[in-house]
Amino acid sequence: MSVEKDASSSFEDTQANRSASVKPREANVKAANPELEKKESLSAWFTILAAGFGLISDGYQNNLMTMSNVIFKQLYPKDYTTAVSTRVSNSLLVGAILGQIFVGLICDRLGRKVALVATTLLIVLGATLGTAAHGAHGSAQGLFWFLTFARGITGIGVGGEYPASSTSASEAANEKMPKNRGPVFIMVTNFVLSFGGPLAVAVFLIVLSAAGEKHLETVWRVCFGFGILLPLTVFFFRLRMLSSKLYRKGAIKRRVPYWLVFKRYWRTLIGTCGAWFLYDFVTFPNGVFSGTIISSVIHNGDIKKTAEWQLLLGAIALPGVLVGAWLCNRLGRRNTMILGFSGYLVFGLTIGLAYNQITQIIPLFVIFYGLMQSFGNLGPGDMLGLTSSESYATPIRGTCYGLSAAIGKTGAAVGTQAFTPIQNNLGKRWTFIIAAICGVSGVLVTYFCVPDMTGVDLADEDAKFMKYLADNGWQGEVGEDDDKELIVDTYASEEALEEKI
């Protein structure tokens, strides 16, 4: 694509004429190759389904340490200190931050398929190493350093899955069902991510019942090993998938104008990054340490009973995802996110201010705790991935999505690191009061900085982005190699554009 500023006034008319001339050519290509059209159609559906199966492994890995922390504390009471527990838990987050940034770039520069295959392999490798983890000569500290390394590799894959799966699913859903893009996206992303929590606890309970509490090492290794199977279910499909039409036609693989991208999307980046930071700051430590919190409330600290209450907590939080999917078109993306952050304010303050009284009634505490997490799922949990996949143009969607998710995971790492010191120095009630403060901050960031893309076709933002680049004198190629000729015809060279004008 190569244009000058003085041509920008005629850009839209010129592009409309060229698009009209290109469409018959595309139709002729499809008519001549019906197998290609069929493959494209099937690939879009498989991309949507594979995103769901891929991200459920993320949800499982994110919640795997919830009950593992309880087991390690019982098996190694002296060695599994607070510092070690935080290090092992945070290793997944550090890896996820790296994965989200770098795989987000790979998504845009090398293609969605390359990114998806790479993340699947990394999750399988990390989960395998975690299952087989051992310390030299039976050293407990060696075991936990091995787990830290393995969880870090898993984290790179888990983090990369966010931009890779989510951008692919969003583009495929926009192609197949544009009016229901939001609900479909939520069901194959945040729903399966949230379902990973109850799944991890359910697997733990099944294995614990089969192996018994005298074989806790077997229990945690089998639970880690189950995490190898989930990503393998989609590996074959990802090897055979095609990139979305939006990506094939709109990719910018060389000379990406990042400064122009920042100038156009800086406010949106503040919105998606800031809101994601606040959400993960609250949600992730409350997920990772919820088993520990419930165990401290249950005075005898029984592992099985803790897991059962943990399963109920996850089940209560899950319906929020479905309500958010139902509201996202009716209420709009931004308003739904504000509603969810408001739930942090209401239930965070309620639990925090009445902590001593509520924790005396365990069912009431678990219900209120679950409702707080359910509102998180309903609002920012559902909407952040959706708005991050809709608010940016296709050529930089993976990069901006990955950056937003990485800032979110930074919030998760900070929250996990700060969780225990907050409890020890301020009291357990303050973890909930701070959640309420984050809820207020999330409402403000969302209202002022997050755009509402409800009902907007992703191709519309792509067209506006291309016009913006044209107006600012950017010159470069658009489209993947197979489609580049088509794109060059669509966005003609400078000389051809001047002739048309």
Parent domain of 8: 1-32+457-501
Extract the tokens encoding 151.
């969880």
One domain for residues 340 and 400: yes
One domain for residues 339 and 467: no
Q: Is the pLDDT of residue 335 over 90?
A: yes
Q: Which among 285, 286, 291, 279 has a CA at the least distance from the CA of 416?
A: 285
Rounded CA separation 372/345 (Å): 9
Rounded CA separation 291/294 (Å): 5
- pLDDT band, very low/low/confident/very high, at 27 (cuts 50, 70, 90): very low
Mean pLDDT of 99-107: 91
Query: Average pLDDT over the chain, rounded to whole?
Result: 81
H/E stretch holding 275 reads: helix 258-288
| Angle (CA) 208 209 211, round 5° | 65
Percent of the chain with pLDDT over 90: 27
- pLDDT band, very low/low/confident/very high, at 11 (cuts 50, 70, 90): very low
Q: Is the pLDDT of residue 183 over 60?
A: yes
One domain for residues 211 and 259: yes
One domain for residues 196 and 319: yes
One domain for residues 11 and 105: no
Q: Per this entry, what is the length of the chain?
A: 501
Q: Is the pLDDT of residue 359 over 80?
A: no
Instruction: Let me know: does 277 contact 409? Beta carbons within 8 Å.
Output: no
One domain for residues 156 and 290: yes
One domain for residues 479 and 355: no
**Which residue type is seen at 254?**
R
One domain for residues 22 and 54: no
One domain for residues 19 and 48: no
CA distances from 82 to 69, 280, 296 (A): 10, 20, 15
We report the CATH number of the domain holding residue 54 as: 1.20.1250.20
Find the radius of gyration of the CA atoms of the chain: 24
Select the more confidently predicted residue: 269 or 306: 269
pTM: 0.80
CA distances from 63 to 57, 158, 198, 204 (A): 10, 12, 8, 11
One domain for residues 241 and 231: yes
One domain for residues 16 and 49: no
For residue 2, list its beta bridge partners.
475
Rounded CA separation 56/499 (Å): 53
Instruction: Let me know: does 445 contact 270? Beta carbons within 8 Å.
Output: yes
Write the DSSP assignment of 352-373 as a string of letters: HHTHHHHTTSHHHHHHHHHHHH
How many structural domains are present in the chain? 2
One domain for residues 214 and 318: yes
Rounded CA separation 434/337 (Å): 18
Least confident of 36-50, 141-155, 179-193: 36-50
